[in-house]
Chains A and B, each alone.
Chain A
């Protein structure tokens, strides 16, 4: 059954490498912007949901609720990073549909541009990684995905040009949109001559590093009708994981070249929404690396395994193509806030507010959130 809630407000700070303000200030700005967008007074928020690891340790729920002057009746946290953001509406639907909360805020932000450990600090969560992997210099995401990419190229015949076409496509989207962190064009020749970080991955294969925050506000579909902007219904949400721990998942997953749980999470979300893959008008996928976009496109069921490289290279993922992917430029060229910007962008598209990057007649959009070994899928929109 499709959830009886809608997203009614969105907010995000301008993406930058290093912000002048601290992370907590950025989050509060984004939450206030989202509430203003919804036309809901801050004091009426009565529920808060985030991922369960990054936000609770950096910008906790109680801090945000205090800044809103709001009393919490529901407090939830799920997965970490991307899957936690995509599944924020799963928790909000449980609370709102059960009458436990009326207005639920989901927020996320990072200051990895400013923080010395950047995105690599997450290794501290995993003792086995510390004890066994770090001594080999196996200590950063580009190295993990470099290993995967080399093997994927052998198994599926992916070419460097196909891989690069993801970076090139998303750069085009970011430049069309404007306001993102990357402002210079990227041709396939530029890509192929870019230095390797952990081969075969080059600098443009890797996501940006960002200081910034985003937020969105959810309420019942009934109350949503009275909000400032057209509501964007939550059509379906899916969450799944596989029984491989975060320590081991980069090396020991038996299906190492398949995005863990992506198919199952997508099946759950599509079943809940009661629509087919072909009903989706655009995708916002967790593009930490070019290779992960290709894998998710396949593993969520939008391409056969091994075909996503050709899909991108032939322009089918462009705005105006069969299935536009990462319409704002994604983590590779717009900003890297682990997917809160993906939800914000999907809402803009479905409201028809995406300007130069508007996908014509967009009715349904899907967001993929990747947090090994978890995966979250959020489908937004309706038939109207």
Chain B
């Protein structure tokens, strides 16, 4: 092999995420799950890491998550994000998809108001297919709810 024949890993196309984006565009949250052992995994994999099964299906789950952790990014590490700061990166868990943790941006919330295990839901209304970014916001409780 010569140097010219080598390809950077970053040049390798990744199409494993398309079902996630297609679901987001139709207002759904889907994650890959193994049809054999029924466990979810993330990120998308060719084989189930738990039972090595190859029959993997993207299952729709109730779009409600809880905040595992978050950080407020104060300085950009890439010039493409210089107009973003400060912004909030959140890591979300789902009762409907045990074992999955999802990276997102938390929006429509002040950093001081975020709490561990706070209930959040996807901002499908803000989803833009060109951006590949599904943000989350605190879940609004129905009017009159005393939850």
Contact = CB atoms under 8 A, between A and B. Distances in A.
Interface of A: 120, 123-128, 130-140, 142-143, 146-148, 150-151, 154, 195-201, 243, 245, 247-248, 251-252, 254, 256
A207 to B, nearest CB: 14
B58 interface: no
Contacts of B61: none
Contact of A147 (B42, B78, B89, B100): B89
15 contacts: A123-B10, A124-B8, A127-B10, A127-B12, A135-B133, A136-B105, A137-B81, A137-B87, A138-B103, A142-B77, A143-B77, A150-B69, A154-B116, A251-B103, A252-B99
Contacts of B111: 199
A131 B74 contact: no
A22 B9 CA distance: 25
Contacts of B101: 251-252, 256
B87 to A, nearest CB: 6
A133 B103 contact: yes
Interface string B42-83: 111000010000000000000000001111111111100100
Contact of B43 (A120, A132, A143): A132
Contact of A150 (B13, B49, B70, B104): B70
Contacts, number: 108
A132 B74 contact: no
B36 interface: no
B133 A147 contact: no
A131 B99 contact: no
A135 B132 contact: yes
A147 B9 contact: no
Q: Which 8 A-B pairs have the closest CB atoms?
A: A140-B77, A146-B71, A124-B10, A151-B69, A131-B14, A127-B14, A198-B71, A147-B69
Contacts of A147: 69-71, 89, 91
A326 B128 CA distance: 47
A137 B77 CA distance: 8
A133 B105 CA distance: 10
Nearest to A253: B101
Interface of B: 8-10, 12-14, 16-17, 42-44, 49, 68-78, 81, 84, 87, 89, 91, 99-101, 103-105, 111, 116, 131-133
B99 A137 contact: no
B17 to A, nearest CB: 6
B69 A137 contact: no
Contacts of B87: 137
B116 to A, nearest CB: 6
B91 A251 contact: yes
B99 A150 contact: no
B84 A137 contact: yes
Given A120-B77, A124-B9, A143 B14 contact: no
Given A136-B89, A147-B69, A154-B116, A198 B105 contact: no
Given A124-B10, A136-B105, A248 B43 contact: yes
A135 B101 CA distance: 17
B99 to A, nearest CB: 7
Contacts of A142: 77
Most buried by B among A123, A132, A197: A132
Given A131-B14, A135-B131, A197 B75 contact: yes
Contacts of B12: 127
B133 A136 contact: yes
B44 to A, nearest CB: 8
Nearest to B102: A251
Contacts of B10: 123-127, 130
Nearest to A251: B101
Contacts of A120: 77-78
A247 B10 CA distance: 12
A281 to B, nearest CB: 36
